[in-house]
């Protein structure tokens, strides 16, 4: 399962890319609005931080297929051909996905709340389908279950599309999907930090250091013995 950052905060992205095995960054119009910066200015800065090797996912904003295709062309020309263009999984979006797929543009189908949206998006040429796990949970349904169902539909139908689950609020939702072997999870910085934060871990590391320093002296490490 790829681990992707769902944010446009360039300081947070730099820190997370330095410390964790990150596979990319996803954004959406609301995330860009939260940055308070001009969209292509902040997106180009993100691209310069992550390089061309890591994935960057950027969403179209137009409501009709022709406008979505125009948005896609601009996104790819500004941010690189490998950029994944996020397209809402609505009828105009499926029409746009078919046209983008014919042009070889990488597509991430987004705004997915049901397995059948994922199925149709994959048939329309999407490489990723993004169900909104926590938002589905908040509607009283099972977000992790929907993401797993989409993964299973792709495998059962031999569709070359992966689940890129989004909208997480806790580690357990991410773990459940990692155990199922979905393609990717895109996670906000605070939740990524929470994946490996635990007082017992810190206490174990502190005890190792204290024991070692008790043996050889304060501040000593293997390198400075």
Per DSSP, 223 falls in state G
**Closest distance between ligand G3P and the C-beta of residue 188, in Å?**
6
Which of these, 93, 34, 31, lies nearest to 62 by C-alpha position? 93
Nearer to ligand G3P among residue 76 and residue 109 (C-beta): 109
Nearer to ligand G3P among residue 83 and residue 110 (C-beta): 110
Which of these, 112, 179, 185, lies nearest to 150 by C-alpha position? 112
**Closest distance between ligand G3P and the C-beta of residue 85, in Å?**
13
C-alpha 191/C-alpha 48 separation (Å) is 24
169 is known as an active-site residue: no
Q: Where are the alpha helices (DSSP H) in 104-132?
A: 115-123
Q: Is residue 7 at the binding interface for ligand G3P, with CB under 6 A as the rule?
A: no
Q: Which residue is at the shortest CB distance from ligand G3P? A: 167
Residues 96-135 that bind ligand G3P (CB under 6 A): 110, 132, 134-135
Nearer to ligand G3P among residue 7 and residue 17 (C-beta): 7
Annotated catalytic residue: which of 2, 34, 44, 86? 86
Dihedral sign (CA 114, 120, 122, 126):
negative
Q: Is residue 28 at the binding interface for ligand G3P, with CB under 6 A as the rule?
A: yes
Tokens standing for residue 80:
């690189």
**At 223, phi and psi to the nearest 5?**
-70, -25
Q: Is residue 14 at the binding interface for ligand G3P, with CB under 6 A as the rule?
A: no
Name, in order, each residue with C-beta under 8 angstroms of 198's C-beta and a sequence gap of 6 or more. Answer: none
Binding-site member from 167, 174, 182, 187 for ligand G3P (CB under 6 A): 167
User: Which positions are catalytic?
Assistant: 86
Q: What does the binding site for ligand G3P look like in residue numbers (CB under 6 A)? A: 6, 28, 110, 132, 134-135, 166-167
């Amino acid at each position: 399962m790829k681990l992707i950052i769902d944010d446009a905060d360039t300081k947070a992205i730099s820190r997370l890319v330095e410390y964790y095995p990150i596979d990319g960054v996803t954004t959406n119009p609301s995330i860009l609005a939260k940055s308070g910066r001009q969209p292509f200015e902040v997106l180009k800065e993100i691209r310069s931080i992550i390089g061309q090797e890591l994935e960057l996912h950027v969403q179209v904003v137009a409501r009709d297929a022709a406008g979505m295709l125009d948005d896609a062309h601009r996104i790819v020309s500004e941010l690189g051909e490998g950029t994944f263009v996020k397209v809402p999984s609505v009828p105009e979006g499926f029409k746009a996905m078919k046209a983008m797929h014919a042009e070889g543009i990488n597509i991430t189908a987004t705004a997915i709340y049901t397995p059948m949206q994922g199925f149709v998006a994959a048939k329309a040429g999407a490489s990723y389908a993004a169900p909104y796990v926590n938002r589905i949970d908040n509607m009283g349904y099972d977000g992790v279950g929907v993401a797993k169902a989409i993964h299973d539909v792709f495998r059962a139908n031999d569709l070359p599309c992966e689940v890129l689950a989004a909208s997480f609020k806790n580690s357990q939702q991410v773990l459940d999907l990692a155990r199922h072997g979905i393609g990717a999870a895109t996670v906000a910085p605070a939740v990524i930090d929470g994946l490996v934060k635990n007082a017992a871990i810190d206490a174990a590391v502190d005890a190792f250091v204290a024991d070692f320093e008790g043996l050889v002296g304060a501040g000593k490490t293997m390198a400075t013995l």
